[in-house]
Structure 1
Amino acid sequence: MIYCAAGIRKPVEEAARLFEKEYDVEIRLDYGSSGELEGKIELELASNAPRCDVYVPADVSFVDRARSKGLTQESLLLAQFELILAASNDQNFSLESIDQLHTEGIPYGMCDEKAGAGKKTRDILSASGKWEVTKEKARVTFPRVTELAGAIQTSDNVQAGFIWDSTAKQFGLKSIPLRELKNSTSTISANITTATKNPTWALRFARYLAAPEKGSPLFEKHHFTPIQGDTWVLEPEIVFYCGGVNREAVAVALKRFQEREGCLIKTQFAGCGTIVGSIQSGQFNMPDLFMTCDVSYMAMVQPEFTEPSDVSSTRVCMLVRKGNPKNIQTLNDLARAGIGIGTTDPQMSTLGALSHAMFEDLDIKQSIQENKSIIVTSPTAHELILQMEGHDKLDVALVYEANCQHLESNVEIIDIHHPLAVATQNIATARQSKFPHMMTRLKQEVLSTQSHDSFINHGFQWEGPDTGQ
């Protein structure tokens, strides 16, 4: 069920009929003013009888209000239109301002403030101090913008009115530019309701409305200015490159997103050195989304990605045998002879690169090399820990705290106090992704409250937005 503002009816209805034919699903539509439809969604939710799956209001102010009430979740931008003063083509008056409209005594109408056009009229004219007098002098008020347009077209009692430019063109009306109505653009979006029982198909139809091959031409046909959405694919395949340290923590968000969006996420978990090498090798190895083990690796490929967002952080620590038989207290102790050290590969892994950078900074790298102390170099921390737990040739392994949540009791953790002993994980969308809007939603899922809990439970510190936890 789609609740759609009356002024947006034509492109949405046309898209719905095409979608039904292509995918053999039934779409029902209900029309009204944006505020009226919002009230219906709220009432139905309170009555535990939700009907609406997608809400398409005429302005983002309705979207913000609906979301603040907990009525909607995802929002996909579709198109824009502008508020204008419209008149029938046989009217020959010339106006430049609201004051002229009043002084010349032209009978005009406006929309109720529950309608998108009415609310926009109020907001725009309030800014110039002209709202109250304009409301008072209006000859008539209509609940829907299409009803006002019809009155302007046919009635001598209403010679002008404040409506959308797209509605004016659909009704064959002319636009009269007024200086007070500059910068009166409104943005249309498709919003998935919180209570929908069909989130996957609701999202699919919303993506269809926004797609440059599907809904966008229909909005343009009916005199809207489309906002280009993602390339249309019913079941998109998303390529996600992710630093191995995040594997368990991010799994919850990926599973939830994949099920809700009806997409397939192809994940590649590896050391960030390996991932960056793959990205740098050419465009055919570019993911849609990249989440790092440390921000330094995003910096290496930043021109290929949008602005990244921090997600989490974890510290590097030393894992030693139970009872710490070699009495290892600090990194400097690793310079002693007779200590078997394990690290991850510094060329393939963020963890290994940070570990070796600390050796060099503390001027112990040469001693470690001369003593031939590094006896294990593994691709991942997971493999390194397995070797530490499996046999006793290793005395110490440098791993992340996030790797140590479920270890056996035969090892202990020694903290490292060094500025390089922390890795911050961030995430960004590839500039060449065919699904940038979907990637924004996936990023939001990774940065959500549920994802926060997963990262904390897996031993990370949270660096994302405040979730109120």
Structure 2
Amino acid sequence: MKYKVGILLLAALILAGCSPKEKTESPLLCHVGGTMRPVFEKLTKAYEAETGKKVEINSAGSGELLANIEMQAEGDLYVSHDPFLDIIMSKGLAVNGWTLGEIYPVIIVQKGNPKNIQTLNDLARDDVELALTDYKLSTLGRLLPTIFRTAGMSLNALTQQKNIVIHRSGSYVANLVAMKSADAALVWEAVAVLRRDKLDSIPITENLPVPYVDAVTSATGKSYKLTPVRVTICSLKCSKQLEAVDKFMRFVSSFRAKRILEEYGFGVSADLRKQEYKEGKRVNL
């Protein structure tokens, strides 16, 4: 009788398309926004070396990944920057969400800074070829009007004054500067760090939007107070491995991961070790 029950249980598992072995040994699938891919490649290797658990990365734009998660209901984790954690939670597609760090914009110039660019105002000079991310289709692009306004400049006037190269991808405009096809650009520091052998970075801390004061309309059409711009990770409701997902989330938000995140240009502090959502509900921070 016990033998028959065991056979029936095994058959039910097979028909359901899973097995106890699959449940514990299947790799986690982590959807990662493009800016965060390099650091997560290193984090997942460190995690696999420590635990033996494999984590596969699927990378694209944060918005594109969110659309795919919504349509296909596949994967275990989602890594993005603002404003996408709030959006995926509002759609009921995720369970828990954590802040890992922040990303900051910087001016990038060619190695050695041959044009002696020191401030945002220098970007308006006639001898400076400038590249920027798209003002409507990228999170950093949406921040640019406020950033330039803090320097006493008008982005609209600047675009009329200069022939600026515009592209949605920060990596694209960074590569233009690295290849000497442009003299300067504004990108996330995490993008600049990956090209430190060819580029120098100039901080613009004093020109950043005031945290929780300056509201910016994001690329999703929704208004957010986007400074600081959080980098977040969340567990997906469609995951069948929520226990393994929770272990990985704790690893990437641990002190061990802090050094790797900072190495790749992400701001990390004790204040950022916060849970944003628990079981789909906003946690008071």
TM-score (ref. length: structure 2): 0.67
1:302 match: 89
Amino acid at match of 1:454: I
Tell whether the 8 Å contact from 2:23 to 2:240 is kept in structure 1 after alignment. no
What are the superposed Cα offsets for residues 274-305 of structure 1, whole Å, 9 maximum, x if unpaired? 333434xx33055321111x232212222222
CA distance in 2, matches of 1:360, 1:330: 13
Per-residue deviation, 1:326: 4.6
Instruction: Check if 1:462 corresponds to 2:268.
Output: yes
CA distance in 2, matches of 1:378, 1:240: 23
1:439 match: 245
Instruction: Check if 1:384 corresponds to 2:173.
Output: yes
- Unaligned 5+ segments in structure 2 are 11-17, 210-226, 275-285
- Using CA pairs under 8 Å that are at least 6 residues apart, name the structure with larger relative contact order, 1 or 2: 2
Secondary structure at the counterpart of residue 267 of structure 1: strand
Per-residue deviation, 1:316: 0.7
Instruction: Check if 1:233 corresponds to 2:233.
Output: no
2:100 match: 311
Secondary structure at the counterpart of residue 193 of structure 2: coil
TM-score (ref. length: structure 1): 0.43
Matches within 5 A, 1:212-223: none
Tell whether the 8 Å contact from 2:134 to 2:166 is kept in structure 1 after alignment. no
Percent identity for Structure 1 against Structure 2: 22
Which of 348, 351, 354 aligns to 2:143? It is 354
Per-residue deviation, 1:363: 5.7
Tell whether the 8 Å contact from 1:271 to 1:380 is kept in structure 2 after alignment. no
Tell whether the 8 Å contact from 1:273 to 1:347 is kept in structure 2 after alignment. no
CA distance in 2, matches of 1:297, 1:363: 29
CA distance in 1, matches of 2:140, 2:63: 10
1:271 match: 61
Number of residue-to-residue matches in the alignment:
237
**CA RMSD after TM alignment:** 3.5
Instruction: Check if 1:374 corresponds to 2:161.
Output: no
CA distance in 2, matches of 1:434, 1:409: 42
Per-residue deviation, 1:260: 5.7
Question: Which of structures 1 and 2 has the bigger CA Rg?
Answer: 1
- Unaligned 5+ segments in structure 1 are 1-13, 23-212, 216-230
Per-residue deviation, 1:441: 0.7
1:53 match: none
CA distance in 1, matches of 2:142, 2:68: 17
2:202 match: 414
CA distance 1:239–1:322, change in 2 (3 Å):
closer
What are the superposed Cα offsets for residues 226-246 of structure 1, whole Å, 9 maximum, x if unpaired? xxxxx9624324221112222
Tell whether the 8 Å contact from 1:271 to 1:348 is kept in structure 2 after alignment. no
CA distance 1:291–1:410, change in 2 (3 Å):
closer
CA distance 1:427–1:445, change in 2 (3 Å):
same
Amino acid at match of 2:147: M
Matches within 5 A, 1:99-178: none
Which of 188, 195, 198 aligns to 1:400? It is 188
Per-residue deviation, 1:360: 6.9
CA distance in 2, matches of 1:298, 1:380: 20
What are the superposed Cα offsets for residues 406-443 of structure 1, whole Å, 9 maximum, x if unpaired? 64566432211233475321111112322222111110
Tell whether the 8 Å contact from 2:30 to 2:76 is kept in structure 1 after alignment. yes
Tell whether the 8 Å contact from 1:242 to 1:291 is kept in structure 2 after alignment. yes
Secondary structure at the counterpart of residue 95 of structure 2: coil
1:428 match: 234
Amino acid at match of 1:458: Y
CA distance 1:275–1:341, change in 2 (3 Å):
farther
What are the superposed Cα offsets for residues 53-108 of structure 1, whole Å, 9 maximum, x if unpaired? xxxxxxxxxxxxxxxxxxxxxxxxxxxxxxxxxxxxxxxxxxxxxxxxxxxxxxxx
CA distance 1:379–1:285, change in 2 (3 Å):
farther
2:281 match: none
CA distance 1:406–1:266, change in 2 (3 Å):
closer
